[in-house]
Amino acid sequence: MKQEMLRMKELINKLNEAARVYYQGQDEVMSNYEYDKLYDELAALEEKTGVVMSASPTVHVGYETISELPKEAHIAPMLSLDKTKEVASLVDWIGEKKGLLSLKLDGISVILTYEGGRLSKALTRGNGEVGEVITNNARTFVNIPERLSFTGRLVVRGEALIRYSDFEILNNQTAEIGEKYKNPRNLCSGSVRQLNNEITAKRRVHFYTYNLIMTDDNREFSTKEEGLDWLSGLGFDIVPFKTVDKNTLSESVAQFSEEIASCDLPSDGLVLTYDDVSYSRSLGRTAKFPRDSIAFKWKDELADTTLRKIEWSASRTGLINPVAVFDPVELEGTTVSRASVHNVSVLRDLKLGIGDRISVYKANMIIPQIYENKTKNDHCEIPKKCPICGQETTLVNDNGSVVLMCQNPNCYAKKIKALSHFVSRDALNIDGLSEATLEKLVNEKVIHSLTDIFSLEKSKDIFVEMEGFGEKSYQNLLEAIEAAKDVPAAKVVYSLGIKGIGLSTAKLIMNAYPVSLSELKNLTKEELCRIEGIGEVLACSFVDFFAQEKNQQMVEELEKILRIQYPSVEGEQPLAGKTFVITGTLTQFANRSECKEKIESLGGKVSGSVSAKTSYLVNNDITSSSSKNKKAKELSIPIITEEELLSLISS
C-alpha cells in the first residue's frame, strides 16, 4: 500500500508539472500519449486503493467566495499542552513507558472530518471550544486526500502550515522588508481563514496529521503509532516522529534539534506523548491540559535592553519603516543594537516609547526582533515629514497594516535605494558601489539614473578625488561594471525594483516568457497570472511598471548596454521538470548559488529540502549520514555527485 501511495504522489507531481508547462506555452515535458498513459495509471491506482489526493489531476476543486466563516462547537475541547524547556523533565515524565516524540509544528490546528470517504468538514481550533468552519479552504490544501478508501466517518487532528520553502517564495515576491510576511505561521493563519479559497490555494498550505480522534466503526489500535501508520496508508502526511523511552529520549531530542536547522517544516518545539492508547485514555485531562502529552519548547535566547530611539528608514518604494535602536546586547554569538519594527501597526501594538525596557531575540537565529515591551510608554511620534526629502508623509492601510509613505516621486531616498538595489548581489552585483558611494556620486551629480552607472569613465577626475577612492579602486570599479554587463535576464528584471517582484518571481516570469527585455511590456495581467506562484497583485504591479513610458525607455537603454543571457529555448533545457536539492561541500562550483543558477538556467528547480518531489540530491559525500541523505534513501531518491550532475547536464 505504501509503495502504491508513493507511486501515486509521484504521478501527481509529474502530471501537474506537465500540465503547468503545457498551459504556460513552454517546452512540453511529455507527449500527449505519455500524459494519457500516466493519467490512466494514476486513475487505476486511485480505483485500486480507494484514495484520491486533493492535488490529483483527476479531481478539480472549485474556487468559491463566501461572506463569512461560520462557527461551530468542537465535539470535545481542543486543549493546549503543558510545556517544559528541560530535557530532564521529559525523561521524568515518560517514566517506564514508551512514547512518541514528534515535531511541534508551528501552524494552525485543524480538525478534518471525512464521511463516505470524502472530506465533509474542516474546523480550526478557534478558542478550543468553538472553531471556524474552513471546509472549502481545506479542500485546496496541497497534500490532503480528496477521497479515502475508508468510507466510514473519520475524524483526525493535525497542523495546517506553510513550509519554509514556499514561505520564502512568497516573501521573495515582496521586495521591501516592511512589506514582507513576518513568519510562516502568521501567513498560514490568514491563508486558511480566507473567504475566497482561491487565495488559500495560491499559498500552498500543507496539512500534517498527528492524532486519530475517532472512527464510526470504533476501530481500535493498541498504540498511537499503529493509528498513525493506518492514517499514512490512507494517504495522510504524518508529522515527523520517533519512538522513544527514557533511555533514548535525550538522544532523540538532540537529533531533532540538529535536524530542525534544515527542516522545511516550521516548528517551535517537540511533543512527547504516551504511545499506549489505553493508558493515555485512563489519564484524562486537567481543566487546561491533556495528561497524556507534554510540549518541549526550543529555548529562545532573549536579552533585555533599553530602547533609545526610533529611526525612520525610507525605501525605494516610498515606504518609511520604523527601526528600533537599543543598547547593544549579545544574541546567538553576535552583538545587535537594531531591530526592524516593520510598520506603524506593529509600532502601535508594541506601545513603544523611548526608554522602554524591551526583550529582543533573533527570529530563526538571524533577524533581530522585539519579543516584548515590558514598560509600554507608548509615546513614539509618527513623523509628518519624510526624514529624507522633508515632504509630507501619509498613513496608508496596506492589506490591514498601517504603513507610513512618502508621496514625493523625486524623494532623494527613493533614488539612492533604487540605485543600491540595482547594483546589489542578486541584481547586477557590482562590487565597489556601496550605498555611501552612490550617495556621493548622486550629490556630485555624476549619477542621475540607473544607466549613468555605465558611463563612470567620464567622471574619473571626480572619482579619484573622492575620499576612500584612488586610481586603483577606480579601475577595479570599472572592471566590476564591465563584468556585470554579462547578466541573466531574471536578474535584470529583479534589478528594476518592480514592487513585489523578487528574484524568484523574476525567474518564473522569464522562464515562462523568455522574450527580450523590451518585449516584456507586451505581457498582460492574464498571461502573468497563468504562471504558478504569481497572483493578480504581482501581475498588476509588473504590468503597471512596464506601462510607464519612462520605464520602457530605461529598459531599452539597458538592453543596448547589457549582454543579457536569456533562458534556454526549446530543446536546450535538459533539466526541465527535475527538482534538485544541493548539500555538502562543492568542488566544481564556486558555491551553492552558482550551482543553483546553473540548474535553473537549464530548466531545473532547486529546493531547500528533500521530499517526494525531489528528483536528485546533489552531495559529493554519498556515504554521509546527514538527515538529507537519510531522507533521500528513505524515498529512493538518487544521490549524485557534482561530476554526475555535470554528466546529466551534458547528456
**3-state class of 264 per DSSP?**
coil
Q: What radius of gyration do the chain's Cα atoms show?
A: 27
In terms of Cβ atoms closer than 10 Å to its own Cβ (0-12, 13-18, 19+), residue 400 is: exposed
Residues 6+ apart with CB under 8 A from 162: 107, 170, 184, 187, 188, 191, 203, 204, 205, 206, 266
Q: Which helix (H) or strand (E) holds 508?
A: helix 503-512
Directed axis angle between helix 642-650 and helix 592-601, to 10°? 20
DSSP state of 129: S
**What does the chain come to in residues?**
651
C-alpha cell at 289: 491540559
CA pair distance 281, 473, nearest whole angstrom? 73
In terms of Cβ atoms closer than 10 Å to its own Cβ (0-12, 13-18, 19+), residue 18 is: buried
Q: Which of 449, 394, 391 lies closest to 416 in space, CA to CA?
A: 449
DSSP state of 298: P
Q: Which long-range contacts (CB under 8 A, 24 or more apart) does 368-374 make?
A: 368/331, 368/336, 368/338, 368/339, 368/340, 369/339, 369/340, 370/324, 370/339, 370/341, 371/300, 371/302, 374/304
Q: Which of 293, 240, 288 lies closest to 97 in space, CA to CA?
A: 293
Q: Which of 67, 77, 222 lies closest to 136 in space, CA to CA?
A: 67
Answer yes or no: are the C-beta atoms of 315 and 405 closer than 8 Å.
Answer: no
Whether 104 is catalytic:
yes
Amino acid at 239: V
Q: Which of 104, 362, 491, 507 is catalytic?
A: 104
CB contact burial 101-121 (16+ within 10 A = b; e otherwise): bbbbbbbbbbbbbbeebebee
**3-state class of 289 per DSSP?**
coil
For 142: left if phi > 0, alpha if psi spans -120 to 50, otherwise beta; the answer is alpha
C-alpha cell at 102: 514528534
Q: Would you list the DSSP string of 556-567?
A: HHHHHHSEEEPP
C-alpha cell at 616: 536528485
C-alpha cell at 307: 530602547
CA pair distance 265, 132, nearest whole angstrom? 24
CA pair distance 127, 446, nearest whole angstrom? 60
Q: Which residues are catalytic?
A: 104
